[in-house]
Structure 1
Amino acid sequence: MKTKILNEIKTFETIVIHRHVRPDPDAYGSQMGLAEIIRATFPEKKVYVVGTSEPTLEFLGEIDEVADNVYNGALVIVCDTANTERIDDSRYQNGEKLIKIDHHPNDDPYGDLLWVNTKASSCSEMITSFYENFKDELVLNETAARLLYAGIVGDTGRFLYPSTTEETLRLAAKLVTFPFDRSLLYQNLYQRPFKTVKLLGYIFEHLNLKDNGAATIYISKDILRQFDISPKQASDLVSSIENIEGLKAWIMFVEEENEIRARLRSKGPVINELAKEYRGGGHPLASGATVYTQEEVTEMGEKLYQICNETPR
């Protein structure tokens, strides 16, 4: 499949690369890292990255403004996106050929070519592996290495999550041979405004932690306004409580304008099937979903409690 994907990249003169909505470092890193590899290898090609810009990740790179006619006869590649509903910019359908590159469970096998590796820690790890597979033909420069490293770091929680494998570390080690400023990269990835830290205090104070290790926290629009925090900034705090003793799995509900986003995390119990019940999905230990009523919020919390009951400590 990697060979087929490379052949398509060689064939097309215009390539547009998408990723998922509400992007995280891996979405940016895999999308922009792949684009940079293609540009460095084939400078004559027109390569674009599209999607809604995320202000907290703009230090990684800029999103391109692309006219509709650019998609005519173009190759479209979607990175780090499990299903079509989460692809940022619906014009992904307008190209001549569509490729999916992803590390989430393949519940929605869209695209003409699909490369899905659920054993990879991140889509950025997959793109690094793609380069290594064809290193005699492709060019990896410092910019691409920085982007891919950021994506791997983001999705592995600085190499702390169980998704980190020997292969993850081996590929990351190759990326750090490039002289980008890792200290500055970590600073940009993890620094927080003081108001966000204050919201974290609210989360610790109001976390509903059950005796079986299940926990939920609800952040309403009123709380977001009180702390002057965006839904994205609040959601980014989901992993900040993971070191609480006795905590097994948790859901952070963040109220938005017309929906309530549910961020699910776990230290062991499988939670992606629960996410699928509520218009979501993801990894066994890290998923997302969407609910619309307080009844669904309560119901989802009760189901998480049952999952934790069924999972030994």
Structure 2
Amino acid sequence: MWTEKYKTIYKLIESFDTIVIARHVGVDPDAMSSQLALRDSILKTFPNKTVLAVGSGSVKFTYLGKLDKLKDDIHDALLFVLDTPDQKRVDGISNFDVFAKKVKMDHHPFMEEFCDIEVINDKSSSASEIVLDFIKETGLVLDTSIAEKLFIGLASDTNRFMFNSSKDTFRKVAELLETYNLDIPSLYEKLYLRPINEVRLQGYIGENMVVTEHGVGYVKITNDTITKFQADVSSAGNMVNNFNYIDGVYVWITMTEDVKNNLIKANIRSRGPIINTVAEHYHGGGHKFASGARVFSWEEADALIRDLDTASKEFLVHQRSDEE
């Protein structure tokens, strides 16, 4: 389906000496894995090119590899944007005009067109799956190190293949395991190993979660709480993934105060109600059942909770009518 676009993108890679690879703010394992995997694949195929993976990193993901610093004098370069549906959420790029060509590869629902070539496949499990498809289709280098990064991205964004995983996803992962003899326990240890202070913070979240009338579970994590548990904003927010399948909770949110950026980050998950359309009204977006938002006061956070509670109420009404 994407063969012709992939061929065109490959020709662009061939024609540019400098290539920059960016992704969304608030780095997660899929975004960083796909970014570093594509960088390494291009570099190993074309060792004389300059290929930079840019954006803010996280100590939590240093096992994936090092990011690069964008040069001040960048010009006549090719830009890849991965795992990002809208331009305002691209991390590490302040001026898009310095790039001669821009390519987007994303698995989120379409939000806006801002690149010359856009590969948007919301049927893919992850950005890592799209990058894997691209590498295999075009014959770019794929070795064990790159395969490990792509596996981590796939496993992370699907929550170990519980969500958004098709038959094709499992076939591709099986091929990676067979071809590159990946050490799954070792990779999962890198992905899920965490310090004791994060375990204690998770206990705090569970103890302090409030559940609304229509099954929205939320917790407000202030900067004081983050400091108390010696955590960081990214780690606290990502704990939303640890609260699946709570009876009576259909939407769950971690709201984490980020004093450095003067905002509150909302990580939102669902097992029924559609949440991305709500998140889009609060400086965010994402998938139907996994989204993020940014609000700028606790009052605005409360408004987001109310809107999600309304979405959950509508879901429950439809669910009951379908059962009758």
TM-score bucket of the superposed structures, by smaller chain = over 0.9
C-alpha change, 1:95 and 1:248, in structure 2 (3 Å) is same
CA deviation profile, 1:33-63 (whole Å, cap 9, x unmatched): 1112212222222212111121110100101
Equivalents in 2 of 1:233, 1:27: separation in Å? 15
Corresponding residue to 2:216 among 199, 206, 214? 214
Equivalents in 1 of 2:120, 2:141: separation in Å? 23
Where in structure 2 are the equivalents of 1:155-234 lying within 5 Å?
Answer: 155-161=157-163, 163-176=164-177, 177-234=179-236
Equivalents in 1 of 2:175, 2:135: separation in Å? 11
SS at match of 2:253: strand
- Residue 150 of structure 1 and its aligned partner are, at CA, apart by 0.8
Question: Would the aligned equivalents of 2:85 and 2:106 in 1 still touch at CA under 8 Å?
Answer: yes
Q: Match for 2:55: what amino acid?
A: G
1:246 paired residue number: 248
Corresponding residue to 1:256 among 249, 255, 258? 258
SS at match of 1:170: helix
2:71 paired residue number: 67
1:95 paired residue number: 99
Pairwise CA RMSD: 1.4
2:154 paired residue number: 152
Corresponding residue to 1:307 among 291, 311, 319? 311
1:52 paired residue number: 56
Corresponding residue to 2:295 among 291, 294, 309? 291
- Residue 122 of structure 1 and its aligned partner are, at CA, apart by 0.3
- Residue 112 of structure 1 and its aligned partner are, at CA, apart by 1.1
- Residue 179 of structure 1 and its aligned partner are, at CA, apart by 3.2
- Residue 203 of structure 1 and its aligned partner are, at CA, apart by 0.9
C-alpha change, 1:78 and 1:92, in structure 2 (3 Å) is farther
SS at match of 2:24: coil
Where in structure 2 are the equivalents of 1:107-126 lying within 5 Å?
Answer: 107-126=111-130
- Residue 207 of structure 1 and its aligned partner are, at CA, apart by 0.7
Corresponding residue to 1:82 among 72, 82, 85? 85
1:39 paired residue number: 43
Question: Would the aligned equivalents of 1:30 and 1:127 in 2 still touch at CA under 8 Å?
Answer: yes
Question: Would the aligned equivalents of 1:76 and 1:92 in 2 still touch at CA under 8 Å?
Answer: no
Equivalents in 1 of 2:25, 2:294: separation in Å? 13
CA deviation profile, 1:168-204 (whole Å, cap 9, x unmatched): 1111112222134322211111111111111111111
SS at match of 2:136: helix
CA deviation profile, 1:97-155 (whole Å, cap 9, x unmatched): 11111111221211111111111110100011112223xx3221111111111110110
Structure 1, gaps ≥5 residues long: none
Give the structure-2-normalised TM-score. 0.92
C-alpha change, 1:249 and 1:153, in structure 2 (3 Å) is same
Aligned pairs, number: 309
Question: Would the aligned equivalents of 1:106 and 1:116 in 2 still touch at CA under 8 Å?
Answer: yes
Equivalents in 1 of 2:42, 2:314: separation in Å? 47
SS at match of 1:104: coil
2:12 paired residue number: 8
Corresponding residue to 2:30 among 7, 11, 26? 26
- Residue 91 of structure 1 and its aligned partner are, at CA, apart by 4.3
Question: Would the aligned equivalents of 1:40 and 1:141 in 2 still touch at CA under 8 Å?
Answer: no
Structure 2, gaps ≥5 residues long: 320-324
SS at match of 1:189: helix
Question: Would the aligned equivalents of 1:101 and 1:116 in 2 still touch at CA under 8 Å?
Answer: yes
Equivalents in 1 of 2:212, 2:302: separation in Å? 14
2:322 paired residue number: none
| Greater mean alpha carbon deviation, residues 90-99 or residues 150-159 | 90-99
- Residue 256 of structure 1 and its aligned partner are, at CA, apart by 1.2
Q: Match for 1:284: what amino acid?
A: K
Q: Match for 2:22: what amino acid?
A: H
% identity of equivalent residues: 37
